[in-house]
Chains A and B, each alone.
Chain A
């Protein structure tokens, strides 16, 4: 366990650095927005695409991974949806607050999962994250948008609007293009690949700084029970579901490790954006993200140790 703890330490140091840089005002406010946009539209897609084009993915159990992750996250979502009245009653939550707990438990932060897997398994780890993003992001986005719209009292989204939310996501395009180029064996001019890789190199460092800059420590000092619910479900509940569904699909080894790590990271930063845009409880999401990030520093090594034992 201490070994995986040390693996994670640089990652969390960078997150802490991002927090410090923002807190002390060393880095101007607009920068974070610029970095966020560049990371989302340029660096991350470049990294995913470049790795998928370059890697040998023919040996990865792609369908097994996709099915395990979709099944695990859908199980969590359905369980939360069925028990929505119960949760709102016990935790005394409003509709918007419930939707934030839902988002905290059913989404995941690729910016944290990717560096962990890149460190543990190199290019293969990055390729695995790309595959998981490609399979999980569309469905996770649709579920989140649906639940927030239903519980936050705003009008329901039309089908074209939902399609737009999903398909304007650059991660999905990057993954699809990368897979297509890889499987079709389309040759890419070497300087273009080098350009992609130098852009992709920025993804990990800037992504982690950005995660840190997004944390809000002062709000998170006294977390409510709802925050702990979202944290427990995400950081421990989802990995347990992955263990169950992995037995069903029979994936093992690196593929299993990748699924476990992607399940064990905090919820996505975009959950906050969605909550703000659609009338969810945005402060609750912000607090949960912060608590999850701090707790995950300890829980991810735990999950990695458990997964290593089970793989």
Chain B
């Protein structure tokens, strides 16, 4: 575990630098949201597209891996929806709070996962991270939007808007683009690879800074039951669900390890935006994310060390 902890330490140091930069006020609030925006729309799609288009998946059970991930998150959905009434009454939650617990326990932070993958598994494994995004993101978005519509205090999203928001998701788009490029056997021009490489290299550091800048330590310190529960479910239970389905579907090796890692990272920052737009409990998401990032510095090395 110490070894994985040290291997991942740089990720958390950079997050900490981002936190410090925001606290110091050197880079203002608006600039951070813009940094987030660019990572999301420009930098990560560039990496995902390039890695998938250049990847060799001949030895990877792509479909089984994707199916296992879908089943893993679906198990978490089912658990939360079955336990919905007892949870609400025991923890004394209102609708928006339940939706935030739900988002906090099911979504994943692509920035953190994609930053850890090259450090821990090597650059080539990024393609597997892209696949994970393509497999999980559409389902996560649909179900989470549904849950917030049912529990949130704000506007409901109609089917058309939902479909459009998923089609416009840059992670989904760039993964599909990469797969298409691969299936059509299009050549990858060297110049294009170099440009995408230069952009992509910067993305990881930049994204982690943005994660750090989004942390709200004060709110995380005053944590309550649901925040701790969401953290426990996301960081420790989700990887177990993933591992179970990967094992059932006979997926092993690097593909399985990347899938479990993608299950073990904190919830996504998109959860916050969604909660704000649709009347979920946005401050609660912020404290869930903060607590999860702090705990993840220890739980992710723990989970990875179990993989051996």
A199 to B201 alpha-carbon distance, docked (Å): 9
What residues on A are CB-neighbors of B14 within 8 Å?
A: 195, 198-199
Instruction: Give, as a whole number of angstroms, the nearest-CB distance from B188 to chain A.
Output: 14
Q: Is B150 an interface residue (CB 8 A)?
A: no
Q: Which of B110-139 contact A (CB under 8 A)?
A: 115, 119
Taking a contact as CB atoms closer than 8 A, the residue among B26, B30, B198, B205 that contacts A198 in the complex is B205
Given contacts A27-B38, A30-B30, contact A201 B17 (CB under 8 A): no
Contact A33 B42 (CB under 8 A): no
A275 to B288 alpha-carbon distance, docked (Å): 46
Q: Which of A7-15, A152-160, A173-181 binds B? A: A7-15
Which chain A residue has the least Cβ–Cβ distance from B15?
Answer: A195
What residues on A are CB-neighbors of B194 within 8 Å?
A: 10
Contact B27 A205 (CB under 8 A): no
Contact A34 B42 (CB under 8 A): no
Q: Is A37 an interface residue (CB 8 A)?
A: yes
Q: Is A23 an interface residue (CB 8 A)?
A: no
Taking a contact as CB atoms closer than 8 A, the residue among B37, B115, B199 that contacts A31 in the complex is B37
Mark each residue of chain A from 194 to 232: 1 if its CB lies under 8 Å from any CB of chain B, else 0. 110011111111101100000000000000000000000
Interface of A is mostly: helix
Q: Which of B193-215 contact A (CB under 8 A)?
A: 194-195, 198-206, 208-209
Contact B38 A202 (CB under 8 A): no
Contact A204 B201 (CB under 8 A): yes
Contact B191 A198 (CB under 8 A): no
What residues on A are CB-neighbors of B203 within 8 Å?
A: 202, 205
Q: Is B32 an interface residue (CB 8 A)?
A: yes
Q: Is A57 an interface residue (CB 8 A)?
A: no
Given contacts A27-B37, A31-B35, A35-B35, contact A42 B209 (CB under 8 A): yes
Q: Is A17 an interface residue (CB 8 A)?
A: yes
What residues on A are CB-neighbors of B163 within 8 Å?
A: none
Which chain A residue has the least Cβ–Cβ distance from B14?
Answer: A195
Mark each residue of chain A from 14 to 31: 1 if its CB lies under 8 Å from any CB of chain B, else 0. 100100010000111111
A34 to B39 alpha-carbon distance, docked (Å): 12
Contact A191 B10 (CB under 8 A): yes
Residues of chain B at interface, number, CB under 8 A:
38
Q: Is B249 an interface residue (CB 8 A)?
A: no
Q: Is A115 an interface residue (CB 8 A)?
A: yes
A180 to B35 alpha-carbon distance, docked (Å): 33
Q: Is B31 an interface residue (CB 8 A)?
A: yes
Given contacts A26-B41, A191-B13, A195-B14, contact A201 B31 (CB under 8 A): no
Which chain A residue has the least Cβ–Cβ distance from B16?
Answer: A195
Q: Which of A91-118 contact B (CB under 8 A)?
A: 115
What residues on A are CB-neighbors of B17 within 8 Å?
A: 42, 195, 199
Residues of chain A at interface, number, CB under 8 A:
40
A83 to B191 alpha-carbon distance, docked (Å): 44
Q: Is B294 an interface residue (CB 8 A)?
A: no
Q: Is B34 an interface residue (CB 8 A)?
A: yes
Taking a contact as CB atoms closer than 8 A, the residue among B28, B32, B191 that contacts A10 in the complex is B191
Contact A205 B200 (CB under 8 A): yes
Q: Is A90 an interface residue (CB 8 A)?
A: no
What residues on A are CB-neighbors of B13 within 8 Å?
A: 191-192, 195
Q: Is A71 an interface residue (CB 8 A)?
A: no
What residues on A are CB-neighbors of B32 within 8 Å?
A: 34
Mark each residue of chain B from 7 to 24: 1 if its CB lies under 8 Å from any CB of chain A, else 0. 001110110010001000
Q: Is A41 an interface residue (CB 8 A)?
A: yes
What residues on B are CB-neighbors of A37 within 8 Å?
A: 26-27, 31
Taking a contact as CB atoms closer than 8 A, the residue among A9, A115, A190 that contacts B191 in the complex is A9
Q: Is B157 an interface residue (CB 8 A)?
A: no
A14 to B200 alpha-carbon distance, docked (Å): 12
Contact A38 B199 (CB under 8 A): no
Instruction: Give, as a whole number of angstroms, the nearest-CB distance from A30 to chain B.
Output: 4
A21 to B203 alpha-carbon distance, docked (Å): 16
Q: Is A43 an interface residue (CB 8 A)?
A: yes
Taking a contact as CB atoms closer than 8 A, the residue among B6, B31, B119, B202 that contacts A202 in the complex is B202
What residues on B are CB-neighbors of A6 within 8 Å?
A: 191
Contact B205 A10 (CB under 8 A): no
Which chain A residue has the least Cβ–Cβ distance from B204?
Answer: A198
Instruction: Give, as a whole number of angstroms, the nearest-CB distance from B107 to chain A.
Output: 24
What residues on B are CB-neighbors of A43 within 8 Å?
A: 202, 205-206
Instruction: Give, as a whole number of angstroms, the nearest-CB distance from A37 to chain B.
Output: 5
Contact A115 B198 (CB under 8 A): yes
Taking a contact as CB atoms closer than 8 A, the residue among A27, A41, A200, A208 that contacts B198 in the complex is A208
Most buried by B among A11, A43, A194, A204: A194
Mark each residue of chain A from 114 to 150: 1 if its CB lies under 8 Å from any CB of chain B, else 0. 0100000000000000000000000000000000000
Given contacts A43-B205, A199-B17, contact A28 B34 (CB under 8 A): yes
A209 to B35 alpha-carbon distance, docked (Å): 13
In the complex, given contacts A199-B205, A202-B204, what are 10 additional A-B residue pairs having Cβ atoms less than 8 angstroms apart?
A30-B33, A31-B35, A31-B38, A195-B10, A195-B13, A198-B14, A198-B115, A200-B205, A202-B201, A204-B198
Interface residue ranges, B against A (CB under 8 Å):
6, 9-11, 13-14, 17, 21, 26-28, 30-35, 37-38, 41-43, 115, 119, 191, 194-195, 198-206, 208-209
What are 7 A-B contacts with C-beta separation under 8 Å? Answer: A34-B30, A37-B27, A195-B9, A198-B10, A201-B204, A202-B201, A205-B43
The 6 closest A-B pairs by CB, nearest first: A34-B31, A202-B202, A31-B34, A191-B9, A205-B202, A194-B10
Interface residue ranges, A against B (CB under 8 Å):
6, 9-11, 13-14, 17, 21, 26-35, 37-38, 41-43, 115, 190-192, 194-195, 198-206, 208-209
